[in-house]
Structure 1
Amino acid sequence: MSPIENIWAIIVYYWKPERERTPDELLANISNQWELFRNQPHLVRNHVSSVPHSKVLCLTRRFHQVWSWSVGDVCIKTHQVKGKLVPDPHQLYSDFNGRHLVVTTVNFWPYLKTITLQNGTISPISGIDFSVINSLSEILNFTYHIVLSPDGNWGGPQPDETITGLVGQVARYEAHAAICGVTITESRETVVDFTAPYYFEAATLVSPAPKEKNRSFAILSPFTVEVWLCIIIVTVLVGPLLYLVSRLLVVCTGEEEGAQYSLQSLSFNMYRSLMLQTNLMNSSRWSLRIISFSWYLFCLYIYAMYSGTLTAALAIRDYEKPIDSLYDLAQAHRDGYTIATTRDSSYDAAFKSAKGGIYQDVWKLFNHEEPSKSFLPNPDTGIEMVLRQKYVFINSLLSTKLKAAQRGREKFYLARQTFLPQGYGIVCSIGSPFKDVFSKVLLEIKDIHRLTIARALTLDSVTSTSNSPSKQFGVSDRF
């Protein structure tokens, strides 16, 4: 469509159905929208620049007659419509005829990596979404140039009614589209449109690799504190118990046993039995024999469990308990860890909007008194903070694996449990005529596995330059 048709399409889109359909109301709507356009000079400029130069001179050829009428002396004579008043966007944009689009992004590898040339031009060089946008441009016959998000974030609508990041650029018509692992969220869909998702991914928790525990007290490691307390209490009480039973038997029967044992000797013998598995007591009374036998059996079990567990503990290295799920974050917070994620990201929005459950509990663990500590500007900063301090960073799984591999996979721990599966889509302005065309092509690309090939090629280039083998961070089983 021409720039005039694009502007008219926007005016029609914002016509509210509840408004009275009169010429005055129509003129009022056009006037309001036109005033908004005047505050956005880049909108018209982008529409004009998107039209190929070869088409500008012959723009009139794109108009065709769809209605005709003539005025007579008495009445207006009309003729039948000869075509569609508004062309079908699917058919119109099946070939962009060399149009030039402005695409905004953030520098977020492995989805898209850019460099700045000497003349200031932003040039994409690699990434999954770089392959996606190139495939679209080849299939739909358009060219594009890249601009970066002014704040380096994905962004979205804010409480003060501003729209930040690359989502804001598209919403303000400063760019035709945005791509770079942009998650489809409910809040963002209030200000922009998304294509069909072309990739699905879950989130993970990345934390410092668990450290090996201090082995100075490894001799006590086979049992917990509670078990040790029970063993001590039973060892202290079993001697007096035997002495008390022996005295009661003498009182009840009136017969003295041949060998008399004092309280001290009975207590020491019980302790000795626990340590050496031997017995120096001889008793002719069955009640004392049963108590002694039960104690010896107890000592045998304790000795066997202790020696076996201690051998295993000394043979295998013991590490701190890792952070494997969202439910472990509360204990990590008590242990001094800072819980963090990327500012204005889909993860930030998901936890913030939670009305209950574990997501709301996690939201309370963020540092709201000093937001800059918990809400970081980009994923790279989060990964670096994990290396430097006690941080748990919430990020997308694929990006985390690759960034950890670049810095040394052995320095990080990725949680076993993933969560919050989300889809990535291309951001388009509300009512964009080429959104559905993009979606159709993306689905076709997915069906013939072209995206899978693009991802595999991207990851192969990573593993060939990384110090860590691909299997170490799970690339081989990802695709």
Structure 2
Amino acid sequence: MDYNVLRTLSEYMNFTLEFDEDKGVYFGSVLANGSATGSLGKIVRGEVDMGGNHRFIEDLGSADYQHTLPSFIEDLCIVVHKAGSKPRWLAILGCFKWEVWLCILITYVICAISWSIRERMVEKDIDYTKAHLEIFAIAFSIPVKVKIRSKFILSVCLYLNIITVSIFQGNYIKSLNIVQYYKEIDTLEEFIHSGYQISTSLVNIFDGIDSVIYSKLKERIIDSSDADIPSLYRTASSTNIAALLSKRNAEMFEKTIKDSEGNPVFHMVKQCPVTHLYGYLLRKNSPFIPKINAILQKLKEGGWMSKWLNDDYQYNLVDRVEMEYRHDFEFKGLDLSGIQIAIYILIVGTVLSVVVFCMELLWWRIIFS
């Protein structure tokens, strides 16, 4: 977008573009001693006439620069590290919500009680343990020989088994193939309670907002004006440092930057704290300001700013980020880690069976002795 804006300005104002490109020079800020760094410093010192990249319209602490009229407006959002993935053995518990698990358990208990009552109506001397085991076997498709006295109860158990097992198998395979994550941070209150700190050069971004939440957000700001590492890199390498980015950038990084396993690295907090204006920087009292503002206003009203911005993010930046940050990864087949919970259940069940069997032998020996 910035190149299209500069090209349009040069055509309408009849000047030749000369770019001053220094690798490693960022937007810059004003230091405590009053000197400016980055592209802001070049504008203040008169080395360039205009900043070629749009940036936040704010008071940077120097009187030797001037903003243009706002070219567009956008939300500023907090970007945190992606929540950790759940262990594979928890996949079986994620097949249903806890409410569904509870309903299945209650339904089984009701069927078992109904089956026991029906058996008691026929046989006065009934073994309730046997009745519960029979209904358990019917509900989970375990071969068992029973006397069919109530077709209704048996039909209910069989239909319950078909529906539950089918949904369970589908959800279980889905849980094994899709990485499950713990709950993400999506509100400002959740962010405050998470213990994250915000790395940004906009240390005064929350000033003037009378709110308890914003006061706590301000307390968590870490000034990154003099940092050698960009805030987003610090977020990628830490689990307690967040970055403050425009919504478009945040969504783009969230979708494109992956780790070596192909999983997302960042997560954007859905509730964005502030909305900010963007513009360009020029030298103080530059004679080009009135003409540039007039052209920018026409481009904004004509929808060209929005078009160029969308094209820029959709085609150019996304492709560049994927090439620069995305690691190659291979699809992996299911391994034994996918059936951990089944192995654990088998081990626990075998151990309990052996213990119960030994207790029964001991009990019979005591009785017959």
User: TM-score when scaled to structure 1?
Assistant: 0.46
Aligned pairs for 1:12-411 (under 5 A) are 128=3, 131=6, 135=10, 139=14, 153-154=28-29, 179=51, 180-184=53-57, 194-209=67-82, 212-236=85-109, 238-244=111-117, 247=120, 257=122, 261-276=126-141, 280-282=145-147, 284=149, 289-314=151-176, 316-320=177-181, 323=184, 326-327=186-187, 330-331=189-190, 334=193, 336=194, 338-344=196-202, 348-349=204-205, 351-355=206-210, 361=213, 364-365=216-217, 368=220, 371-372=221-222, 375-377=223-225, 380-390=229-239, 391-397=241-247, 401=252
Is this contact kept in 2: 1:277–1:299, CA < 8 A?
Answer: no
Distance 1:260 1:183 in 2: 83
Q: SS of the residue aligned with 2:76?
A: strand
Distance 1:406 1:222 in 2: 28
Number of the residue aligned with 1:98: none
| Deviation, structure 1 residue 396 | 2.5
Distance 1:229 1:440 in 2: 65
Is this contact kept in 2: 1:239–1:267, CA < 8 A?
Answer: yes
Distance 1:134 1:294 in 2: 75
| Deviation, structure 1 residue 428 | 6.3
Q: SS of the residue aligned with 1:304?
A: helix
Distance 1:342 1:462 in 2: 23
Number of the residue aligned with 1:423: 277
Q: SS of the residue aligned with 2:323?
A: coil
Does 2:265 match 1:412?
Answer: yes
Distance 1:312 1:429 in 2: 58
Distance 1:291 1:392 in 2: 57
Find the structure with the greater CA-based Rg: 1
Aligned CA RMSD, in angstroms, stands at: 5.6
| Deviation, structure 1 residue 293 | 3.6
Distance 1:214 1:431 in 2: 60
Distance 2:256 2:283 in 1: 36
Is this contact kept in 2: 1:182–1:425, CA < 8 A?
Answer: yes
Distance 1:136 1:155 in 2: 33
| Deviation, structure 1 residue 271 | 1.3
User: What residue ranges of structure 1 are gaps of 5+ in the alignment?
Assistant: 1-110, 112-126, 250-256, 471-479
Do the aligned partners of residues 163 and 144 (structure 1) sit closer, same or farther apart at CA in structure 2, a change above 3 Å counting? same
Map Cα deviations across residues 340-392 of structure 1 (whole Å, 9 max, x no partner).
141336xx51x443345xxx646635654xx43xx433695311212211143
Is this contact kept in 2: 1:137–1:143, CA < 8 A?
Answer: no
Do the aligned partners of residues 231 and 461 (structure 1) sit closer, same or farther apart at CA in structure 2, a change above 3 Å counting? closer
User: TM-score when scaled to structure 2?
Assistant: 0.57
Do the aligned partners of residues 395 and 465 (structure 1) sit closer, same or farther apart at CA in structure 2, a change above 3 Å counting? closer
Do the aligned partners of residues 205 and 194 (structure 1) sit closer, same or farther apart at CA in structure 2, a change above 3 Å counting? same
Distance 2:232 2:218 in 1: 17
User: What residue ranges of structure 2 are gaps of 5+ in the alignment?
Assistant: 327-369
Higher RCO (CA-CA < 8 Å; seq separation 6+): 2
Distance 2:245 2:215 in 1: 15
Q: SS of the residue aligned with 1:320?
A: coil
Q: SS of the residue aligned with 2:89?
A: coil
Do the aligned partners of residues 136 and 383 (structure 1) sit closer, same or farther apart at CA in structure 2, a change above 3 Å counting? farther
Is this contact kept in 1: 2:116–2:131, CA < 8 A?
Answer: yes
Distance 1:399 1:194 in 2: 22
